[in-house]
Amino acid sequence: MSPLTAKIAARQYALASQGLLRRRQALAVSPPAQPQACAGPRFVLEGKSFLNFSSNDYLGLSLEPALADALHLAAKRYGVGSGASPLVTGYSEAHQALEQHLCVLTGHEAALLFCSGFSANGALMKTLFDAQDTVLADKLVHASVIDGLRDSGATLKRFLHNSTEGAGRLLARHGAAALITESVFSMDGDIAPLAELSALCRQHGSWLIVDDAHGFGVLGEQGLGANALCQEADAAGVDVQVITFGKALGCQGAAVLGSRELIDFLVSNAREYIYSTALSPANAALALAASRFALDNPQLLAGLTENIGCFTRLCREAKVPLLASATAIQPVIIGDATKTMAVAQALRELGLWVGAIRPPTVPAGSARLRLTLSARHTRADIEFCVAALSQVLTQAGGPKS
Ligand SMILES: Cc1ncc(COP(=O)(O)O)c(C=O)c1O
């Protein structure tokens, strides 16, 4: 056996023995929604239809026919790919139009598009920071931020999740270059104290960088995300905001938003931007259409808010224990990873698909079901989901037993 084959086998065996192996399943799209009560988002796996309570498609835009038409039209106009990196010939008027639109919505001066949120975060961290910098981050920030910071060589100090006190103490001690948080935390669903953090950052002369992957499209009165939320609260605001198009906008790609100086600096220095094929112009046009569609159809965000309220109320009545989340992300902590997988499997047998999240995605001992609400869920979908959860958790002896 070659050394690499042996290494692979040993690592996979170690994961398998802890119940942490991951595997993929190729889903089929469900047939068009049936005229039935449980008509929410579904997919088919091995011939069986599942009600989907696990996607980040919070507004249900990924299957919106008007956006499929927008993508088709854009592909006809611009072609199906960008054909080059942005500084060669991959940057088009479609990219520019999206950047300008996002700036108007978020209140930032300039924007830069990436093919994914992971590469946007990585590029930002690696390019902005170096070994001279100290950076503070919430304990629960996304893997892409951590990896980017590690690659940058900066000194990383973590503060307790959502603790303004912890953040303030570290800022006072280290005079950090920047503080990084998510707006809506991807695995817990709670919202960072953005107004307080922005005030602290102003006081200490540090930048506030917000990964708004799960906020843009749904956070704030019109779903305009982290900076708009700060403005609604008359707070200082966010210096750099990273938004993704693969969550509430239902499509693909991401943007870093900030000052003109920052974006010009990234254009000249961010290797992920310079040496990678640009997001396709059709995808840029699609993200613009999706954002406009969400703004033109405020009933989607209102429907999502109503569904979140309905879900949390029914869970309370059914004694299904939730974390303190008011967003579309609703975790049920199980604790043990193997038990979490068994509970998720039992739910699948009832036709309900929820995320089963294990370490290292979440801290050890906090494996969980991650349920997500969509504007497209019906009342009957939510009732079915809560009844199934309650039944399976009771059979499993309660979440934490
Ligand atoms: C908080 C957060 N940031 C960034 C990303 C990466 O975004 P993308 O899926 O566009 O790569 C994710 C994706 O799961 C996320 O949850």
Residue in 182, 190, 212, 272 annotated catalytic: 182
pLDDT over 90 at 30, yes or no = no
Our answer to whether residue 190 is catalytic in this structure is: no
Determine what percent of the chain is predicted with pLDDT higher than 90. 88
Note whether 285 and 325 are same-domain residues.
Answer: no
Note whether 283 and 315 are same-domain residues.
Answer: no
pLDDT over 50 at 285, yes or no = yes
What is the tens place of the pLDDT at every residue in 42-64?
Answer: 999 988 999 999 999 999 999 99
- CA–CA distances in Å: residue 24 to residues 21, 45, 47, 362: 10, 12, 16, 19
Residue 241 resides in a domain: yes
399 confidence band (pLDDT: 50, 70, 90): low
Check which CATH number belongs to the domain holding 140 and give it.
3.40.640.10
Note whether 101 and 164 are same-domain residues.
Answer: yes
Note whether 268 and 145 are same-domain residues.
Answer: yes
18 confidence band (pLDDT: 50, 70, 90): confident
Note whether 108 and 207 are same-domain residues.
Answer: yes
Q: Are 42 and 53 in contact (CB under 8 A)?
A: no
Q: Are 142 and 187 in contact (CB under 8 A)?
A: no
**Mean pLDDT of the chain, nearest integer:** 95
Q: Are 115 and 281 in contact (CB under 8 A)?
A: no
Q: What is the pLDDT of residue 215?
A: 98
Residue 116 resides in a domain: yes
Check which CATH number belongs to the domain holding 341 and give it.
3.90.1150.10
Note whether 338 and 238 are same-domain residues.
Answer: no
Note whether 227 and 302 are same-domain residues.
Answer: no
Residue in 108, 126, 214, 377 annotated catalytic: 214
Residue type, 225: G
pLDDT over 50 at 144, yes or no = yes
pLDDT over 70 at 209, yes or no = yes
Q: What is the pLDDT of residue 236?
A: 86
Residue 13 resides in a domain: no
**Single residue among 296, 313, 346 that ends a domain in this structure:** 296
Note whether 79 and 221 are same-domain residues.
Answer: yes
Note whether 229 and 211 are same-domain residues.
Answer: yes
pLDDT over 60 at 400, yes or no = no
What is the tens place of the pLDDT at every residue in 304-348?
Answer: 999 999 999 999 999 999 999 999 999 999 999 999 999 999 999
Rounded to an integer, the average pLDDT of 259-285 is: 98
CA dihedral 68, 69, 74, 77 (to 10 degrees): 140
Our answer to whether residue 54 is catalytic in this structure is: no
Q: Are 213 and 328 in contact (CB under 8 A)?
A: no
* Cα of 117 from ligand 1 centre, angstroms: 5
Note whether 323 and 282 are same-domain residues.
Answer: no
Task: Pick the atom of ligand 1 nearest to 56's CA.
Answer: 14
Q: Which residue has the tokens 């946007």?
A: 120
Residue 9 resides in a domain: no
Q: Are 245 and 253 in contact (CB under 8 A)?
A: yes
Our answer to whether residue 56 is catalytic in this structure is: yes
Rounded to an integer, the average pLDDT of 289-309 is: 98
Residue in 95, 108, 126, 247 annotated catalytic: 247
* Cα of 114 from ligand 1 centre, angstroms: 12
Residue 5 resides in a domain: no
Residue type, 311: F
Spatial separation of the C-alpha atoms in residues 168 and 55, rounded to whole Å: 34
Q: Using CB atoms within 10 Å of the CB of residue 34, give its burial: 0 to 12 exposed, 13 to 18 middle, 19+ buried.
A: exposed
Distance of CA 240 to the CA centre of its chain: 16
Task: Pick the atom of ligand 1 nearest to 254's CA.
Answer: 10
Cβ 242 under 6 angstroms from ligand 1: no
What is the tens place of the pLDDT at every residue in 88-110?
Answer: 999 999 999 999 999 999 999 99
397 confidence band (pLDDT: 50, 70, 90): confident
Of 145, 127, 155, the C-alpha closest to 181 is: 145
Residue 183 resides in a domain: yes
Our answer to whether residue 126 is catalytic in this structure is: no
Spatial separation of the C-alpha atoms in residues 265 and 132, rounded to whole Å: 18
Residue in 188, 211, 272, 381 annotated catalytic: 211
Residue 167 resides in a domain: yes
* Cα of 87 from ligand 1 centre, angstroms: 25
Q: What is the DSSP string of 227-248?
A: HHHHHHTT----SEEEEESSST
Note whether 221 and 343 are same-domain residues.
Answer: no
Lowest mean pLDDT among 18-22, 57-61, 182-186: 18-22
pLDDT over 50 at 401, yes or no = no
**Single residue among 249, 280, 296 that ends a domain in this structure:** 296
Ligand 1 pocket test target in 58, 62, 118 with most atoms within 8 Å of CB? 118
pLDDT over 60 at 249, yes or no = yes
Cβ 252 under 6 angstroms from ligand 1: no
Q: Are 357 and 340 in contact (CB under 8 A)?
A: yes
Cβ 182 under 6 angstroms from ligand 1: yes
* Cα of 232 from ligand 1 centre, angstroms: 25
Q: What is the pLDDT of residue 333?
A: 96
Residue type, 164: T
Ligand 1 pocket test target in 141, 186, 256, 372 with most atoms within 8 Å of CB? 186
Cβ 142 under 6 angstroms from ligand 1: yes
Cβ 211 under 6 angstroms from ligand 1: yes
**Single residue among 241, 274, 296 that ends a domain in this structure:** 296
Residue type, 136: L
Q: Which residue has the tokens 């927008």?
A: 70
Residue 303 resides in a domain: yes
Q: What is the pLDDT of residue 34?
A: 55
Is 110 strand, coil or helix?
strand
Ligand 1 pocket test target in 55, 141, 142 with most atoms within 8 Å of CB? 142
What is the tens place of the pLDDT at every residue in 345-361?
Answer: 999 999 999 999 999 99
Q: Return the number of other C-beta atoms located less than 10 Å from residue 275's C-beta.
A: 9
pLDDT over 50 at 65, yes or no = yes
Q: Return the number of other C-beta atoms located less than 10 Å from residue 364's C-beta.
A: 10
Q: What is the DSSP string of 126-183?
A: HHH--TT-EEEEETT--HHHHHHHHHHT-EEEEE-TT-HHHHHHHHHHH--SEEEEES
Is 278 strand, coil or helix?
coil
pLDDT over 50 at 37, yes or no = yes
Note whether 84 and 228 are same-domain residues.
Answer: yes
First CA to last CA distance, the chain? 43
* Structural domain that includes position 302: 38-58+298-395
Q: Return the number of other C-beta atoms located less than 10 Å from residue 164's C-beta.
A: 16
| Residues sharing a CB contact under 8 Å with residue 324, sequence separation 6 or more, in sequence order | 190
**Total tally of structural domains belonging to the chain:** 2
Q: What is the pLDDT of residue 23?
A: 86
